[in-house]
Structure 1
């Protein structure tokens, strides 16, 4: 099985978190004091950020550094693809799916 370079994995995680917060690359760049092109390069795994850069980005996202590196290694590829697709949905569709999941979880608790 072909394993992605860690810079690509972290970049994908960064993109997923940014999109989850409904931020553009430009907005994240502005918040973190970095150039939008550099944010894109990080997300594509083309650049290896310093710890200071990681700190700037995670502070701007309002997350601990550990969350960026929480890669859920036990998540299967198809599950990760589903999660990434959810992040690409519009806000209204994403909220509808969250409500469906919440109802299902409540139903499971009641069982």
Structure 2
């Protein structure tokens, strides 16, 4: 695998792991639900495998999410930008934390606006 492809596979694997754990599923359970071997699921999550669309579709269906949600935050702006780093940090957190972070950001921005007045 090319370096960029390896990095993308690693980030996608991390995203799948986060979503799986958010659903309270083990690798074995995700494997059963998706019809994929448990070892293959582990390799995907470690970024060792280049996924097919079919496998991605099976995983998304098993997680109960649309296929495109697998790619949310995988490579939004690139890790070299501050916004990209923020998105990467957030993508590594459980989905439940996203609402908390959004509320916190809104509060901080509102506070900053009030301070300027």
TM-score (normalised: structure 1): 0.68
The Cα of 1:81 is off from its aligned counterpart by 3.6
Unaligned residue ranges in structure 2 (runs of 5+): 78-82
| Matches for 1:51-70 after TM superposition, within 5 Å | 51-70=53-72
Q: In structure 2, what is the equivalent of residue 90 of structure 1?
A: none
Specify every segment of 5 or more residues in structure 1 that has no aligned partner in the other structure, as ranges.
88-94
Q: Which has the larger radius of gyration?
A: 2
**1:78: Cα distance to partner?**
5.7
Equivalent residues, number? 100
In 2, Cα distance between equivalents of 1:9 and 1:98: 18
Q: 2:27 aligns with which of 25, 28, 31?
A: 25
**Alignment RMSD (CA, Å):** 3.1
What TM-score do you get using the length of structure 2 for normalisation? 0.65
Which stretch shows the higher mean deviation, 34-43 or 69-78?
A: 69-78
